[in-house]
A and B are shown apart, each in its own frame.
Chain A
Amino acid sequence: MTNHWIDLKNTDCALIMGSNAAENHPISFKWLTEARDKRGAKIINVDPRFTRTSARSDIYAPLRSGTDIAFMGGMFKYILENKLYHEEYVKYYTNATFLVKDSFDFEDGLFSGYDPNKRSYDTNKWAFETTEDGQYVKDMTMEHPRCVLQLLKKHYERYDIDTVCKITGTPKNKYLQVIKTYAATGDPAKTGTILYAMGTTQHTVGTENVRSFAMLQLLLGNIGRAGGGVNALRGESNVQGSTDWALLFHILPGYLATPEAQKHPTLAAYNQKETPKTGYWVNKPKFLASMLKSYWIKDDPEKSYYYLPKRIDGKNYSHIAMFEAMYNKEIEGLIIWGSNPIVGGPNANKEQAALANLKWMVAVDLWQTETSEFWSYKALDRATDKDEYKIKKPKDIQTEVFFLPACNSYEKAGSVSNSGRWMQYRWQACNPVGESRADLEIAHELTLKIKELYQGSSKPQDEPITHLYWDYGHGAHPDLDKIAQEINGFEVINGKPGAQVANFTKLKDDGTTACGNWIYSGCYPAVTGKPEDYLARRRDNRDVPYEGTKPIGSYLNWSWCWPINRRIIYNRCSATPEGKPWVEDLASIFWNGEKWVGNDIPDFGATKAPSDPGGTDAFIMRPEGVGCIYSKCNEGPFPEHYEPWESPVANILNSQSFNPVVVEWEPDKRGTPDKYPIIGTTYRVSEHWQSGVMTRMQPWLAELMPDVFVEMSEELAKEKGIRNGDNVIIMSTRGDIKAVACVTKRFKPHNVHGKHVHQIGVLWHFGFNGYATGDPANRLTPHIGDGNTMIPEYKAWLCDVRRA
């Protein structure tokens, strides 16, 4: 989230798209309800099906799964043509005024610079026009045909209401209602927020979907302001934290790119290639050097950079890629920690088959997950005989499986980072059950054991382990405060920790500071011996406003938030270019003549006046200092509608059948509408959580949602002779599953290109263990991912359904 949960109460309009906020983030509706009651805010829900969120929304508009960009494109066109955008904001805080080089072009769904063999673009073709001394060329009137705003207008010319509705299947009146209601937040006195989740991201065009939200929010002047923002609702209590901490293969902690072997042979090469010339990222070398120092305190960063593992250049290590490699017997061993891919992974049949190719596997979880028992007979149960991936029988599986019981969050202490980036400390409530251990303790003991095995080695290749700095107290229970102190960072004197640094602005690139993760620097700024030294432990629930303003729900002394306790990022945008709040009642930060003050920590030079050079460069992390309406995603500078990999209809906007930059792993498994005419999608319900490991083992929750069910329209049920509550078989090219039919008025066939297209939705929480069991819906989903992040396409694929 650019903003945070409480801030939802400040909004005038909430667009919930690609999220089922009411069901999966119930607390969001505490604040949205307050916004509706106190501010008269409108809640809009755009979703393929009518959910519990839709039931609590003012406007509901259906759309066909996977057509978000078309939907947004029509909004851009309407907003631009009717001049509903926030003009001053767009002019000063975005790159709408920038001129683009004439090498930029767009034709039939492809931007200039496309290489069909590599399935990628030469992004240099899309560069901005610069002067000889490197300054960007702008047209402040935004009239120039090659300025971003005009290019945007031109790009979305084709997205008229009729065309969009033909693609998305949205009724025209509903679509117009959504556009008009949300576009009203372009008024400088109003703000609108977008709430999204996996319905947006889990597509072959997931990144571009999110991009389109960011563009809409920039056009309407909603970023950086109270009640605005692009807000990713996180599906796990600590998924924000795990992303900040390098959950993904392409980043190191704090969103530093992972080094590649050829491209970044030395630290100097890395710094030179990865550090932009302008913007706050010019400090990147300090962050990386400090991180390296926190790992190997006695070594110079130049040397310890060699200790870091490097990626093979250009190689994909994402979830799908790893399981494809396992399937092809390229990987020997796997530590699977709090993950259950044969329920939660895409194409679960293939992933189950892949696990059987391992020599060994270590599973760490609260319960014996389906994945940890992939070798059992239970794992072989199938609704039909279909066996596309030749899953091995128990007697043929040679994998040695170890299971380490982990304890749950109430049985241990530590911090989690919520969607609003708040780092909140949790105290231990009770002791772990049996032999279960905290994840941290498992990692700690594993590391100590490995270090012990390498003790005394003087081989240079063992240095990453022998030199590793691991000083978290004695015994099996690491000292959480010592870890947090290292995360915050400290000065390094003679290879030993010195005083704490105040925050990341004090970090240096010469090896004199260490910091575990620069974005968390500032969470433990001093050691005085009080528990509250660790700011994540703060629990002051008073919302004290800045003198002369009204409180906006910042609660600055409750826990701690990265970066440096800033509750709304890019908050320079909350003030006019001259430094006054856009809306007096929702003053975030403003210029008092001497410095930036207000109800939040300024995301800007604290004393940089609006009239100073760069005084309106609100997006400090960007080299250009402005928000990107035009950017360099792998697919191109502007999102373009492409049909999902498996789609029942052809693309009517261009002749590209699907996203031109995605990797196609299994071309032979692409379902076609003649055999599989129904769109399938997967989702969660309030009552269960993720792959159900924690909830299906709880009788009270199993009771609430006891079986895997598939929701479908009355029309489809009639066509297929299915009654409510019948058992049905759902089929895709990857596998078949059994589910209970939930025939409902809340599903309607989409009217696409003048014909009825059916869509069904399946819960994916289920597996063969626990009180509530059922087939994993992911046996149906394909191995295809997004063009940038490789996030799997769980939300739009083809299937068919029949009575069991």
Chain B
Amino acid sequence: MQLVPEYRADVKRVERFNFVARMTHWGHTVTFILCLLTGLVLFLDSADWLAVIFGGFSGAGLVHRIAAVTLTIFLVIFVIFDFKGIISWVKDLLRFGKNDIIFVMKFPFEFLGFPVKMPPQTRFNGGEKGNSMLTPTSVILLVLSGYIMWFPAIFPAGLVRVCYPIHDIAMVLATFMVCMHGYLGSFHPGSGESFWGMWKGTVRDDWAQHHHPIWYEETYGDKANEKSE
């Protein structure tokens, strides 16, 4: 069975994500998963075996901290080196509108594989917009609450205590989103092509036109050409 749609170098491809975006994305993927695995050791009562992989609880704790710091560094790199990209990303998010709502409402059918007709989407579709809001928010909360719990002596006890549930909630939300995102972005037959967008940086021209017509039009279509002229 085919997991990810085949990479087709023979068709016309358009750029979807630049290098910095892709590097930080995969950086976050690795560090997040490491944090998740080492964190679950504490979150789940029955996950002691996970600690063994990391050389015991102190090993898991160490990996958790190293991965968390690395994750933070990727965040910083992303902010510094792809500031423009962030701005356009945020701008795109702000375009959340009727089409996106329809997309989200019809999405469960799409998700399960029923043929549905979706309204035209911008660079990120309604679902991706939701993910784009929830996941970074959760990660930022994870990072902040994590550091507060790491250095409790310099923060008020009440704040430290709030961080325990926040860290957990944010972790669960982020993990939920990451699971969905990971599945949709690679194994879902309909949106699998976007995997190559994040891996190689380009997607098939026809896929882009089909899934993100507004974005395609604005970036590579007539409007974009008008602008460049």
**Do A and B contact each other directly (Cβ–Cβ < 8 Å)?**
no
